Amino acid sequence: MDNHAAIVILIMGLFTLATRLLPVLIFGRGEKVPEYILYLGKVVPFTALGLLIVYCLKDVSVTESPHGLPELIALAVVSGSYLWKRNTILSVVIGTVVYMILVQMVF
Amino acid sequence: MNKKLSIRRKDVIAALHTSAPIMVTFVVLGIGYGILMQKHGYGPIWSLLAGVIIFSGTVQFVSVSMLSAGSPVMAAITALMVAARHIFFSISMIGRYKDEGRRKWYLYYALCDETYAMLSKDDGPDGVNTSAYRLLVTLLDQLSWVLGSFLGGWIGTLLTFDSTGIDFAMTALFTTVFIQQWIDSKCHIPAVLGLTATLACRLLFGRDLFLIPAMVIIIIVLTVMRGKIEATGGEAHG
């Protein structure tokens, strides 16, 4: 068994559950929800996606070959196809296949 | 409060009708997640357990790269940050779910983005038992995700292709959500902030330490710029 992985899953599960249950436990009896908490719940998700994208690309090096080109091309494919068709699954599949071809065969 | 729930045929049909598009999406994305997990050395049972314990696609996708090496503190903060939107979802459902008795704990625990989108404005078609409808929609969505990720883990063991680069599926998924949020929102400050603050911290702090400073900066800037962001209509979701 992989204890570290199990602990990470449990912790992430616990904190995800906290975002779903704590607000109800705290404010469920009709107490007024602080505006600041509501505000953060609303805007933080809009910052989180940018953060996650950078996190996913954290190991890309612009200075070393291939200079992040596979990522750049695949991201362009994902963005372009999504803006065109608005279909998440289509864009994810096409972008991933393009990226895999690029890193395995081209660069 | 805890009256016994009777589920009729028409409740099931109504819930299936509502959930069908979500179920298809969840099975497909779940398969992707399961394959990714498998390629990182975690089989179908791991994917299934993560789907039950975490049950958030975004959190689960980021968790993959943290399973073998991530620090527990980093895992906790990342989950909190990524799942923060649920605070808003849950709070806005308090009124609707107040008479659901003990069932409401399941409804809140499994309140993902898509289920929230379906249930936050609608109680189901006329003549349907609302409690049964809510429970079934929530359950069908979660089951599809868990089933998909289990299947993906299993498919991943059968596929013997060179999987180098398959992690990009996660980047691609986040990119599509980012674009959709961008289209849906009037105020782009949070989106730009998330990208630039994280990028700046990655350059400043290196690849292992940048996430926490980035999150701190994001919260500070959001707090300082609250007036401006709210004035331009920071909300759009839901």
Looking at B158, B177, B194, which one is the last position of a domain? Answer: B158
The answer to whether residue B166 is domain-embedded is: no
Residues B112, B205: one domain?
no
Residues B192, B129: one domain?
no
Residues B209, B133: one domain?
no
The answer to whether residue B172 is domain-embedded is: no
Residues B153, B52: one domain?
yes
The pLDDT of residue B167: 82
The pLDDT of residue B182: 92
Looking at B123, B158, B193, which one is the last position of a domain? Answer: B158
Residues B22, B81: one domain?
yes
Q: Which domain holds residue B210?
A: 185-231
pTM for this structure? 0.83
Tokens of B138: 């929530």
Residues B192, B149: one domain?
no
User: B146-157 as b/e, with b when 16 or more CB fall inside 10 Å?
Assistant: bbbbbbbbbebe
The answer to whether residue B54 is domain-embedded is: yes
Q: What is the pLDDT of residues A55-103, one digit of tens each?
A: 889 889 888 888 899 999 999 999 999 999 999 889 989 999 999 999 9
Residues B31, B137: one domain?
yes
Rounded CA-CA distance B19/B144 in Å is: 10
The answer to whether residue B236 is domain-embedded is: no
Of the partner residues B63, B194, B235, the one whose CB lies closest to the CB of residue A8: B63
DSSP letter (8 states) at residue B127 = T
- Quote the number of domains for chain B: 2
Sequence letter at residue B208: D
Residues B206, B154: one domain?
no
The answer to whether residue B91 is domain-embedded is: yes
Q: Is any Cβ of chain B less than 8 angstroms from the Cβ of A32?
A: no
Residues B212, B144: one domain?
no
The pLDDT of residue B236: 45
What are the boundaries of each domain within chain A?
1-56, 61-107
**ipTM for this prediction:** 0.88
Of the partner residues B66, B109, B168, the one whose CB lies closest to the CB of residue A96: B168
Q: What is the pLDDT of residues A23-54, one digit of tens each?
A: 899 888 877 778 888 888 778 878 888 988 99
How does the average pLDDT of chain A come out, rounded? 90
DSSP letters for A38-106:
HHHHHHHHHHHHHHHHHHHTTT--SSSTTTTHHHHHHHHHHHHHHHHH--HHHHHHHHHHHHHHIIIII
CA angle, A16 as apex, B141 and B114 as ends, to 5°? 30
Residues B55, B149: one domain?
yes
Low-confidence ranges of chain B (pLDDT < 50): 1, 234-238
The answer to whether residue B167 is domain-embedded is: no
The band of A1, judged by pLDDT with boundaries at 50, 70 and 90, is low
Count of alpha carbons within 13 angstroms of residue B170, beta-carbon side? 24
Give the gap in angstroms from C-alpha B53 to the nearest C-alpha of chain A: 5
